[in-house]
Structures are given as C-alpha cells and as structure tokens.
A and B are shown apart, each in its own frame.
Chain A
C-alpha cells in the first residue's frame, strides 16, 4: 500500500482499569457500521481478547467469544454480524480465504496479527495497538486510515 507523503494520524488513550477498557470497547461498538474493519495488535496478555469480548458484547453478540487462533475466523451474530479473525497461522501463506466477502459484506471485522495479511486488508481501516503499562493499565494507540475512521476516532475521543 502506498500512503505517499500523507501523514498518519494517531490518537492515544490511557485506560486505568478493566472497566475503562470495556467502556471504551462498548462506545466503539455503538459507532460501528457494516464493513468496518479494525486491526488489533498487542503482546500476549495485553488484553486483545478482553477488548474483543467487550466489543462483541457492544455489538449485541450473546454467544461466548473465544480465540479464533485455530479456526482463523469465527463469525457471530449481533446487531451486525461480527467476524473475529486471528491470522497468526497464515504467516508465510498467500492463501486467499475469501477476504472480500469477509471485509465487504454486512459484518464488522476485528483482525488480530493483521500485518500478516497486510495486502489483503481494506486500505481504509482502524488500527488499534494495545500496550501494557501496569497490572490493569493500558495504553491504546489508534491509527485511523481513511476519512470514515478519522471521524470515528474524533467521536471516540470526545
């Protein structure tokens, strides 16, 4: 992807508790629309799963959300369909798993280890990096790519 000389915007948010993280995920969920795509990066234990569970809850998913590492994709039904992807196992693979129908259908998608399928991702999307800075403290770095996601971040930061 060529971003040219355009400067990437970045937003930062410190979560001081698990509740902060959950509330943030719920707020984000309330703003999401079909085809929205979020990439999620963070070390083990950073809280990617905690965040995703809260986001799914906010989307009205009632089933238990757990790791898609083995299956690569798990799909849930909520206010919007929800795709939870972990593409870790696709490292070194060029396989097309039908990305277009996943990302350009009716669903919201969250992708863990997304950089491994960089060229298959929608160019416009929201990047979220989670850094652990204490037992329950986290630093969230949001990188919106595209106007839709810039507006989303503005709304989120209010």
Chain B
C-alpha cells in the first residue's frame, strides 16, 4: 500500500511517500516560499526520490485544515486533483491532529497551535499516544483557550512553530503547567498525516468530488447573527 501525504495548511510544507507502513521519502521545510510555487515541485521531488510513479499510489492523505485559508486551499486542491485524476481515495486529516501527532509519545494533554492573527488561534487538545480528542478543533482568542486549559489543572504540552507568538502569555497564565516540545518537533510532518489516515477506513473514489477543507471558523456575519440571537434570548 503506497500513500502520498500532503501538508500545506500553514507556512510549513511537508510531503511524504509511505510504503507498507514505512516512510520512503519526506520533505519537511519552513522557508519563505509560497505553497503555490513550492508544493507541486516538492511532490514531484519526493515521488522521484522514492522512485514511485503517480500511477503507483494507492491513496492520498491531506491535512484538511484548519489553518491558513490559502494554505489549506492549495493542499486540498492538489490532493483532490491528484486523487480525482488518478482515481485514488482521498483521506482528510485535521491539520491540528497531524501536528499533535509529533508529540504522541507524551502521555498527557497536547495542545497544537496555529496563529490565526489578531490574538486568535486555531487549536485543539488531544490526550496521550492515541490522541484522544479532549477539545475539538476550533478557533478562539488565546485568552479563551488559556482559560479552558487552566481548568484542567494539569500540564499541557504545546506544539508548533506558532507557539512562539503566544508563549509569553501561555506561561503567564499556566505557569509550570506550560510545557513545550523540543523545536525539532514543531513542524508538521506529512508522514504523521498519512499515519493517522491509515487508521481510518478508506472512502470511495467518488467521495473525492465532495471533499472540502475544514476552516473551523464561522464568518463574521454569522458570528454577529449568533451573538444577536443570544442577546435577544437573554432579554
């Protein structure tokens, strides 16, 4: 069984080829190159290095979001186009869970973070080696997240390059409960995306057509409408 993994949900890029449960080739990078210019050549390079022709692939796994809208769209578009033209099944994996998988040897709470700008984050909380979902993927202000994490009264391991942006605040609120992965585990790896995908049942090739990104964020207008409804309900 040969898998191609695609991870472009945020600034880092990762592409991997996995064959029969072994990583054959993988690119992991975090350079100032837009995915529109870098992702497709990286796929070609990894396939060439692995000595695998596109037609030999059995399935494709993609990091489906949340994250950068542009990044998620590029990854999902590439994955869909490849899957559809090659007639192979496509599996979407949460980009947060995929990153959290870098810390899956940790037997505790794992919190991956992507910077969503203006003090906001895309985040989730998973637990232990099986990455059990404790808080589902969502969009929140960092203050809102830290309030929820504080309530656990337990150590939390933060993962991701964007943790830098919030680290000062995280330590301020969580104190000794705040922990970080070594920097070598901060970049998402497409091999983890594939590993998580192999645990799921393969969807049909027809399902490729209906595959959509997971932005995990409601539009401002919708948020305002919900807020109004809530306020009305309180009156």
**How big is the B interface, by class?**
10 to 19
Assess the B224–A100 pair: CB atoms within 8 A.
Answer: no
Q: How distant is the Cα of A101 from the Cα of B217 in the complex, in angstroms?
A: 13
* Interface: B68 (CB within 8 A): yes
**How big is the A interface, by class?**
10 to 19
Q: How distant is the Cα of A48 from the Cα of B42 in the complex, in angstroms?
A: 38
Q: Which residue of B lies closest to A98 (CB)?
A: B69
Assess the B219–A96 pair: CB atoms within 8 A.
Answer: yes
Q: How distant is the Cα of A80 from the Cα of B221 in the complex, in angstroms?
A: 30
Assess the A101–B68 pair: CB atoms within 8 A.
Answer: yes
Assess the A94–B120 pair: CB atoms within 8 A.
Answer: no
Assess the B221–A94 pair: CB atoms within 8 A.
Answer: yes
* Interface: B28 (CB within 8 A): no
Q: Among residues 200 to 235 in chain B, which have CB atoms less than 8 Å away from a CB atom of chain A?
A: 215, 217-222, 224
**Which residues of B sit under 8 angstroms from A98, Cβ to Cβ?**
68-70, 215
Q: How distant is the Cα of A120 from the Cα of B222 in the complex, in angstroms?
A: 12
Q: How distant is the Cα of A117 from the Cα of B181 in the complex, in angstroms?
A: 39
* Interface: A146 (CB within 8 A): no
**Which residues of A sit under 8 angstroms from B218, Cβ to Cβ?**
96
**Which residues of A sit under 8 angstroms from B70, Cβ to Cβ?**
98, 101
Assess the B224–A119 pair: CB atoms within 8 A.
Answer: yes
Interface residues of A (CB under 8 A from B): 94-101, 104-105, 119-120
